Chain A
Amino acid sequence: MALKTETFLVNAGPQHPSTHGVFRMRFILDGEVIQDVEPVFGYLHRGIEKLAEGLTYSQDMVFTDRLDYLASMTNNQAYAVAVEKLAGIQVPERAEYLRVIMAELMRISSHLMGVGFLTNDIGAFLTPLLYMYREREKILDLFDMVCGQRLTYNYMRIGGVSQDIPEEFLPALKKFTDTLPRFIEEYEQLLATNEILLVRTKNVGILTKEAAINYSTAGPVLRASGVKWDIRKAEPYSVYNRFNFEIPTATKGDVYDRYRIKIEEMKQSIIIIKQAMEQLPQGEIQAKVPKVLRPPKGEAYGRIEGPKGELGFYLVSDGATNPYRLHIRPPSLLNLTPLRELVIGVKIADAMAIFGSIDICMGEVDR
């Protein structure tokens, strides 16, 4: 007897609990197994690149906050680095240190969310996520202290930072960096010794080294596949060449490795913050920048290592007050490129785990 079977199309998203925002995947399913997937983007495409052409350089800073809204500080920094490169502005040393502290705090916060949502996608009923949120709230409190905002900071400005840190910031930061390693250790014990988590993440969604490079992935995804590539080491910007820290890498490139890398990077970030706190000099926090910036004609590409990978801003100036062209190199979008190859042939549950491990932010993917 011949049974007639048919593959069927299942639409995951744009409103789906596991798509981290408004992403959509059109799965062609053969039972539980994914035969094909068509990622569909654009549900959060706000046209930032076009809007930025109509506003001045300093006004465009607000858009960067809303790109990767889990890592607004690093977005600010990337844009500031690009504009400073274009206009040739020297940033005061204290401002650079403050930027480093904020960026590393942001990296911890973003990775906490990445790990938390990954466990949520694997099916842990909110518990790990909410513990991660507890730590994140502490970081948000620190940011609240310096700039009065929780999510969109607009703290870094072209040529420095918007305001100096208040007196109570450094003690609070010290307390945070002293306690966080203990919490990370605790979460790691809870998660990494959990058999179910290991079963669900190990050997799932393996991205080989060659593929990771060829697909232009960046950040934790690239490093999990065994490529030791980090802009902080490869092309040190700001004052990163003054700190001692490691670039954690893994070998296999599966979901578990991508999860591990994030945990290790958080630990490294704490080390960097501690060094920056010790070395923090006194002085100016803002370079002299004209109110209306008119960079010389030309183009510049400023890049930093964001939590999700290399974040770059490509700016073209025609000598006017507005950028002629602003392009964002979105690590989230490029990290999604191998998604199709990774999920074909796996089950739906694994597809969600793989998607969660790539750790994207739709604001940055769609822009």
Chain B
Amino acid sequence: MELNNQPQPEVYSDKILDKTEGEGVEFVKQQHQIQIEDPDSWQNEESNHNFILASADALINWSRSSSVWPVNAGLACCAFEMISTASSRFDISRFGMEIFRPSPRQADLLIVNGTLTWKMAPQLKRIYEQMAEPKYVIAMGSCAISGGLFRNSYAVVPGVNKIIPVDVYIPGCPPRPEALLYGIQMLHKKIKKQRNFEKRKSA
């Protein structure tokens, strides 16, 4: 039995890959003008829950808020504060959040930690889209919130909320781990308020 090594398929050539990547970036750059729907709009709607649905909601929300698994994704400086939060001193595992899933499919929370560049934007958007519902996003640090120090740059996205909807914003450059923990607790509170059995009017 002999192995017959075929030449590489044409789609693997660097030129084509780079070209598609560039097109993706340009596409996201055009798309970001479109306003993203406010992820918090449901909070003001009135609830028409009965007792059973409310207790089912309570159970579901309890489980969702008690085990929020973040994606193992880091962008820039703030990533190190995120890892610090997971490390022994601050210990995110107390909240059951130490399982940083490398695959976005199994994660619930995307912590956008650091400067988002246009070249990275399609990738981040893809990570977000790969995540299974329900999914939450924390924008950590001023770069993620608004572009921060690098807002005027030619390569930086002025705020992640132009690309993906954000649930919690944590200011700071970088925010201290305590701030991240506080933001995570805010997210827990938000999850506990969710109503899972009613159709949203806007949706």
| Chain A contacts to B: CB under 8 angstroms | 1-7, 9, 14-17, 21-22, 26, 28, 30, 38, 42-48, 50-51, 54, 62-63, 66, 69-70, 129-130, 133-134, 137, 150-152, 362-363, 366
Whether the Cβ atoms of B80 and A46 lie closer than 8 Å is no
Whether the Cβ atoms of A51 and B152 lie closer than 8 Å is yes
A150–B177 Cα gap in the complex (Å)? 10
Total chain B interface residues with beta-carbon distance under 8 A: 46
Whether the Cβ atoms of B3 and A3 lie closer than 8 Å is yes
Which B residues are CB-close (under 8 A) to A363? Answer: 76-77
Given A42-B119, A44-B115, A51-B150, decide whether A152 and B12 contact each other with a Cβ distance below 8 A.
Answer: no
A21–B150 Cα gap in the complex (Å)? 18
A263–B141 Cα gap in the complex (Å)? 32
Which B residues are CB-close (under 8 A) to A152? Answer: 77, 173-174
Given A66-B77, A363-B77, decide whether A14 and B120 contact each other with a Cβ distance below 8 A.
Answer: yes
Contact with A44, one of B1, B71, B76, B80 (Cβ below 8 angstroms) = B76
Contact with B8, one of A3, A4, A28 (Cβ below 8 angstroms) = A28
Given A2-B4, A70-B80, A151-B80, decide whether A43 and B150 contact each other with a Cβ distance below 8 A.
Answer: no
Q: List 21 A-B contacts (CB under 8 A).
A: A5-B3, A6-B6, A6-B8, A9-B12, A16-B102, A21-B79, A22-B75, A22-B76, A42-B119, A43-B117, A47-B155, A51-B150, A54-B152, A66-B77, A69-B76, A130-B88, A134-B87, A150-B81, A150-B176, A152-B174, A363-B76
Whether the Cβ atoms of A362 and B123 lie closer than 8 Å is no
Whether the Cβ atoms of A62 and B149 lie closer than 8 Å is yes
Which A residues are CB-close (under 8 A) to B153? Answer: 46-47, 50-51
Contact with A46, one of B5, B87, B88, B156 (Cβ below 8 angstroms) = B156
Tell me the minimal C-beta distance from B130 to chain A in angstroms: 10
Which A residues are CB-close (under 8 A) to B83? Answer: 133
Which A residues are CB-close (under 8 A) to B87? Answer: 129-130, 133-134, 137
Tell me the minimal C-beta distance from B156 to chain A in angstroms: 5
Nearest A residue to B104 via CB reads A15
Nearest B residue to A16 via CB reads B102
Tell me the minimal C-beta distance from A161 to chain B in angstroms: 20
Determine whether B200 belongs to the interface, using a CB cutoff of 8 Å to chain A.
Answer: no
Tell me the minimal C-beta distance from A296 to chain B in angstroms: 28
Determine whether B17 belongs to the interface, using a CB cutoff of 8 Å to chain A.
Answer: yes
Nearest A residue to B90 via CB reads A137
Which B residues are CB-close (under 8 A) to A129? Answer: 87
Tell me the minimal C-beta distance from A103 to chain B in angstroms: 19
A70–B154 Cα gap in the complex (Å)? 25
Near A by CB (< 8 A), chain B positions 34-88 give 71-77, 79-81, 83-84, 87-88
Tell me the minimal C-beta distance from A65 to chain B in angstroms: 8
Whether the Cβ atoms of A134 and B76 lie closer than 8 Å is no
Whether the Cβ atoms of A17 and B89 lie closer than 8 Å is no
Which A residues are CB-close (under 8 A) to B173? Answer: 152
Whether the Cβ atoms of B5 and A5 lie closer than 8 Å is yes
Determine whether B9 belongs to the interface, using a CB cutoff of 8 Å to chain A.
Answer: yes
Nearest B residue to A133 via CB reads B87
Tell me the minimal C-beta distance from A354 to chain B in angstroms: 20
Q: Residue among B4, B14, B80, B173 with the most chain A CB within 10 A?
A: B80
Which A residues are CB-close (under 8 A) to B123? Answer: 14-15, 22, 43
Determine whether B2 belongs to the interface, using a CB cutoff of 8 Å to chain A.
Answer: yes
Q: Annotate B168-200 by CB proximity to A: 1 below 8 A, 0 otherwise.
A: 000001101000000000000000000000000
Nearest A residue to B89 via CB reads A137
Which A residues are CB-close (under 8 A) to B149? Answer: 62-63, 66
Nearest B residue to A134 via CB reads B88
A106–B194 Cα gap in the complex (Å)? 44
Which B residues are CB-close (under 8 A) to A133? Answer: 83-84, 87-89
Tell me the minimal C-beta distance from A43 to chain B in angstroms: 4
Which B residues are CB-close (under 8 A) to A50? Answer: 153-154
Which A residues are CB-close (under 8 A) to B28? Answer: none
A22–B89 Cα gap in the complex (Å)? 26
Whether the Cβ atoms of A43 and B120 lie closer than 8 Å is yes
List 9 extra interface pairs beyond A15-B123, A44-B117, CB under 8 A. Answer: A5-B4, A15-B127, A42-B117, A42-B119, A44-B120, A45-B117, A62-B149, A133-B89, A134-B89
Which B residues are CB-close (under 8 A) to A5? Answer: 3-6
Which A residues are CB-close (under 8 A) to B73? Answer: 15
Whether the Cβ atoms of B79 and A3 lie closer than 8 Å is no
Whether the Cβ atoms of B155 and A45 lie closer than 8 Å is yes
Whether the Cβ atoms of B75 and A38 lie closer than 8 Å is no
Given A15-B123, A17-B102, A44-B75, decide whether A3 and B1 contact each other with a Cβ distance below 8 A.
Answer: yes
Which A residues are CB-close (under 8 A) to B8? Answer: 6-7, 28
